[in-house]
Structure 1
């Protein structure tokens, strides 16, 4: 088949259709996808990839296995080829006929699994729900880690979140410029230390470092602050040796003594003793160990003072899964750059760490986030069965009640 077409300059071109070429290519593709050899090769590749991913996950963690295998485009292509192969074989061998019911069930189930995997991978989200017996929850903790940024000037708030997978083998790059309130902010990820622990070591040219336990709205925080730093912990601002606003808890190290000053009255009591009293607001007072200091819904216990020290981050190794990743950011505003250290990892709720720059509070958190569900689950009963004569669990089951107020539905499972 051919078509004649006359151009503007009077010349005549013959446009040949390529239907024969298209049919030839389609025939090759049909033979390829309907071949048993293709099926065997694809399944072997799939099994090999899954096996390798299992070993990677066991040695380096889930995030590395996702980065190298599960979330790679090659693994997605392999899924697609297997799905097409199964669909072509389904019609070629007429598996919809009653006499081929067993083959029909196998191929149809595999196709459904691949479709479900594609939905999970591209258009849905996964998470885990932590719920105690008798409690009700409608929140899950995402399996994906997010880098969440918040900038607050007490009038307006800028928020952003980016799904990330920082691990020992990925590039670990992040650089974002933010225009907020007619100000330019630059946030650059300088370094990622996998499975990091923070050690405080003595240093001749170091500065004073204070370690204390701070209870804010019944949430316990272990806080380390260096001389010259400001740090937000929950809704409380701490300033160590710097000019502090009225709402800050001020610390200073003078003549080998640690002092504090608060804008509110502080109650104190000595642990394991009957000594107690009150300290007036805005009164510079020595801060001692073994004392509990409390105000409003806050409480503080001083753990240790390091007169001259520095902090060192050390990785426990890429094969360790016990620690959190340490992310070191450079945050630039008004030509001033500050360093912010953030800890986090997947499957743990990210805790925000903050710095102040002028009137702005800049906070970053790294880790999983809470996702609200359109329904709620109540754990009615949790049954744990053990092996006879052993404390090892043999099996468990949960009885839950699902409540969906959108359609007035209550179901027990």
Structure 2
């Protein structure tokens, strides 16, 4: 019997069982994210996250892990780092279990001046109330009722001299957004039976009353009201917006904790990334009322936080220790590479349009506050004295703009403007963003972005006839009435007799869910956006360059807004100034004399300096932003990265196939060239950080260029003596930059949403995003290995190279997985500081966890029979990268969640992805014919 139990123990505590359990776990988590997206979070929790079988799965994984640690005799073999790291998951599991069964979450709503000592539970309950002799008796029990899962119930509750029975009958989902879900139940007491339909109320106190015999009852379905042992009073809710916009910069609640039992009255401030801990409860800023007179606080009670944090600390220390432990896998792999004469270096982680008029003299006007600015004096003259540029000579207009306005346009681009998000930036940036959005090109008609912007704003009637708005859908071209071969339409093409041709199609597209929109719908929305951008330029509504003269607000105004807002004297002065500028601009095009235009431009800059106050960025920051606009560092690096990687790969591959040593000189020169690219890339990131005033990895575009940087760093610093690894890292960096500039990512620098205003942005995001670079390198190295397997024969150089790549691949994966794991759990700490809980099964964090599990499987497959094989590892390192693609792209663009600030509307699955998957399968099949290669002897 003892032997049987021993065999069962050893059989369960095996790597085969570990991998099976991890596959089941990752699959369940992946399915749950799609269930949550389609049916809501309650359905995902009811079907998977909160089920007993999922709890059992966690328990089995931990039991298996404990058994493996015992059987491996890690303590006796002095593998302390490995033991500490793996034991951390046991501690984290204990903390998570305590939270799961003993913690709870809810919401507290407080209006200014009110004190509240109750909260609504996150979990839903069916509450039964009975009234007997003016006394109210209350009972409740949790319900699991969602569109996907309806858990039936039949409860018997003692009441008076009998029992009150409550039985589930049916669930009636809401018919539309304006109606409620209903729960149909049967309530019986003695011989009295009543069927009641209870709406989901959410704890607002709307009861469904009924009678059974002589007794009065009521039912309520939704959140349960929980009374706290203390109260919180809201003294003031403060919402700060970005200057001149409606976008929140930060919001906070000034509250007072009132604990009468302990005679305590303490003031506190609750804001994003700064929570309130009191009495075992944690309060964090969640939302606010639309009138900005009330706050919504999320409430959390988590007795499992301390063991969980201890587990996080053990995990981080264990991983760091494992890199230096001489009996560890990473150290042995490094020693093998040294034996192959490959040096290993330390990793560096960074951590108004008007009729043309002529100006020939100068005058001074006194602006608000008494300060004079000098502008040209405008006097109207006839068209005979100065020719007016009309639609008949629009080609001459474009030619003049191209040949004569370049220097002035560059100077005008230095003028500051406030965008609709509140950010103060050079006009050059807005022109670049608007022109690229309209034309999908960096230059158009041979004009720079600023030249085209000024031309459109100064001569709107002419440019409205120019085909410059990008369009792609043939059906939409038919609707507008242009030839299907046209790639652009004119602004005027979208209107007929003053009616907008797209209005009905636009309304229909906007009514659809983003995931249900077809290409035509999306093109309608995109073209409408481009037309609106053009309209903002033609009417100068985008020209928000005038600060508030009274300095009473941080909003900057466009010409028409200023005329409607400022007092008469200031309006007159501004009118003169704008008249003078547009007249001077026309003079510059006709006479190539820009003196007066420059003088008017200087007046605008004086106004901004006088009234802009603290909103004005430093002149150096403005110049650097314009530098980024014009030199487009990251886009320009793309081709060089790819070419360097491909050329170096070809050089090395030729030498391998010829069974000769790699030519040192070309390889070293290419290495130095890639090093130069990485240095330029690093400088570009630093400049973007300085210009944007936050770490450059806060959105999809920035994180993509950061992944490219991490890939380049991995090659030139960590694997600098392995030319194949260097080629792979350079190629990957180029591909990442290529993807970043495909067009569905927004490259503009924007303001941070409140939750990202934290030092955790630098820590968590930098580490976890850099891990994508290392794991992407594993994908490239795996693909190279599979190619070499295809060419295997009698050439010993190929086998030697394969073993070297295999070793580098495994080391890179260990690094990438370590960074992904630490980054993910550090994100849990950030979430606890920001949202009041360290894990909430958000799709982004869940898919990061799935990726951790996937790569853990790949690294442990070598313990399986026939699993310790370079071909197996190479194939799995390629397949595993699809989990990273899902984590990085799929979640952002196909699933909803708290991380949605990094995404846009859902996109269709690109066609190339299907070919990519098919190519991967074909590559693995072809390489598998010659897979019999023994692993390196460590």
TM-score (norm 2): 0.25
Distance in 2, matches of 1:96 and 1:146, equals 52
Contact map agreement 1:146 1:164 (CA 8 A) in 2: yes
Return the offset for 1:343. Answer: 0.8
Alignment partner of 1:351 out of 167, 191, 206: 206
- Tell me the equivalent position of 1:281: none
- C-alpha displacement of 1:136: 4.5
Specify the alignment match of 2:184 in structure 1. Answer: 328
SS of residue paired to 2:110: coil
1:164 equivalent to 2:143? Answer: yes
Q: What does residue range 191-206 of structure 1 map to in structure 2 within 5 Å?
A: 191-195=170-174
Quick one: distance in 1 between partners of 2:10 and 2:190? 64
The corresponding residue for 1:69 is: 48
In the other structure, the counterpart of 1:365 is 220
Closer, same or farther: CA 96–186 of 1 in aligned 2, 3 Å: same
Which whole-Å CA distance do the structure 2 matches of 1:78 and 1:41 have between them?
11
- Does the 8 Å contact 2:192/2:213 carry over to 1? no
User: Following superposition of structure 1 onto structure 2, how do residues 312-327 of structure 1 map, counting pairs within 5 Å?
Assistant: 315-316=175-176, 323-327=179-183
Partner residue in 1 for 2:197: 341
Instruction: Find the aligned partners of 2:241 and 2:87 in 1 and give their Cα distance.
Output: 37
- Aligned CA distance change for structure 1 residues 71 and 156 (closer, same or farther; 3 Å): same
- Greater length-normalized contact order (CA 8 Å, ≥ 6 residues apart): 1
- Give the conservation status (yes or no) of the 8 Å contact 2:39–2:148: no
Of residues 141-150 and 357-366 in structure 1, the stretch that sits farther from structure 2 once superposed is: 357-366
Deviates more, 1:374-383 or 1:145-154: 374-383
Measured against aligned partners, the alpha-carbon deviations of 1:198-248 in whole angstroms (never above 9, x if no partner) come to xxxxxxxxxxxxxxxxxxxxxxxxxxxxxxxxxxxxxxxxxxxxxxxxxxx
Taking structure 1 as the reference length, the TM-score comes to 0.52
Could you say if the C-alpha distance between residues 374 and 184 of structure 1 is closer, same or farther in structure 2, counting changes exceeding 3 Å? Answer: closer
SS at match of 1:355: strand
Q: Secondary structure at the match of 2:90?
A: helix
Stretches of structure 2 that go unaligned for 5 or more consecutive residues are 269-275, 277-938
Alignment-derived partner of residue 9 in structure 2: 26
Paired residues of 1:190 and 1:328 also in contact (CA < 8 A):
yes
**CA shift at 1:62, angstroms?**
2.3
Change (3 A) 1:136 1:331: closer
Does the 8 Å CA contact 2:208/2:219 hold for their aligned counterparts?
Answer: yes
> What is the match of residue 271 of structure 1?
none
User: What CA distance in whole angstroms lies between the structure 2 residues aligned with 1:383 and 1:109?
Assistant: 41
1:74, 1:376 → 2: CA distance?
39
Is the counterpart of residue 48 in structure 1 residue 27 in structure 2?
yes
Deviation of 1:168 (Å):
2.5
User: Helix, strand or coil: the match of 1:130?
Assistant: strand
1:305 — aligned with what? none
Larger Rg: 2
- Alpha-carbon distance, 1:369 to partner: 0.8
Alignment of structure 1 residues 136-175 onto 2, 5 Å: 136-154=115-133, 157-175=136-154
Q: Hey, what's the Cα distance between the residues in 1 that align with 2:239 and 2:19? A: 41
In structure 1, what is the Cα distance between the partners aligned to 2:119 and 2:169?
A: 31
Which stretch of the first structure deviates more once superposed, 322-331 or 87-96? 87-96
Distance 1:47 1:411 in 2: 45
Are residues 1:120 and 2:99 paired? yes
Deviations 1:372-403 (A, max 9, x none): 23344555776656566653346656666656
SS for the counterpart of 1:115 is helix
Residue 68 (structure 1) shift: 0.6
Aligned partner of 1:111 in structure 2 is: 90
Partners in 1 of 2:128 and 2:140 — Cα distance?
6
* Residue 140 of structure 1: how far off its partner (Å): 2.1
SS at match of 2:181: strand
Greater strand fraction, Structure 1 or Structure 2? 1
1:67: Cα distance to partner?
1.3
Q: State the Cα deviation string for residues 250-304 of structure 1 (Å, max 9, x = none).
A: xxxxxxxxxxxxxxxxxxxxxxxxxxxxxxxxxxxxxxxxxxxxxxxxxxxxxxx
SS in 1 for 2:210: strand
> What is the RMSD of the two structures over their aligned residues, measured on CA atoms?
4.0
Residue pairs, 1:173-188, within 5 angstroms: 173-177=152-156, 180-182=159-161, 185-188=164-167
Relative to structure 1, the CA distance from residue 93 to residue 66 in structure 2 (aligned partners, 3 Å threshold; closer, same or farther) is: same
Give the distance between the partners of 2:136 and 2:38, measured in 1 at CA. Answer: 41
**3-state DSSP of counterpart to 2:196:** strand
Deviations 1:124-172 (A, max 9, x none): 3332222346654432211111111122232665432111112223345
CA distance in 2, matches of 1:369, 1:27: 47
Distance in 1 (alpha carbons) for counterparts of 2:216 and 2:88: 53
Hey, what's the Cα distance between the residues in 1 that align with 2:25 and 2:106? 25
Aligned CA distance change for structure 1 residues 150 and 96 (closer, same or farther; 3 Å): farther
Q: How far off is 1:173 after superposition?
A: 2.8
Q: Deviations over 1:320-376 (max 9, x none)?
A: 7x743212334445745444332115x544532111344311211111111123344
Distance 1:399 1:27, change over 3 A: farther
The answer to whether the 8 A contact 1:120-1:126 is kept is: no
Aligned equivalents of 2:119, 2:69: Cα separation in 1:
38
Question: What SS does the corresponding residue of 1:324 show, helix, strand or coil?
Answer: coil
Shift of 1:64: 1.4
Change (3 A) 1:379 1:179: closer
Whether the aligned pair in 2 keeps the contact of 1:340 and 1:354 (CA below 8 Å) is no
Shift in alpha-carbon separation, 1:331–1:75, aligned structure 2, 3 A: closer
1:179 deviation in Å?
A: 5.7
Q: Which has the higher helix share?
A: 2
The one of 219, 229, 233 aligned to 1:374: 229
Taking a change above 3 Å as real, the CA distance of residues 73 and 185 of structure 1, as seen in their structure-2 partners, is: closer
Structure-2 change in CA distance of 1:93 and 1:394 (3 Å): farther
After superposition, give the CA deviation of every residue in 1:53-77 in whole Å (9 maximum; x if it has no partner). Answer: 2221222122211211112222111
Alpha-carbon distance in 2 for matches of 1:27, 1:372:
50
Distance 1:48 1:136, change over 3 A: farther
Contact kept in structure 1, 2:164 and 2:188, CA below 8 Å: yes
Offset at residue 80 of structure 1 (A)? 1.2
2: CA distance, partners of 1:23 / 1:353? 59
**Cα distance, 1:119 vs. partner?**
1.6
Looking at structure 2, the residues matched to 95 and 398 of structure 1 have their Cα atoms a distance apart, in angstroms, of 51
Return the alpha-carbon distance in structure 1 between the equivalents of residues 30 and 38 of structure 2: 13
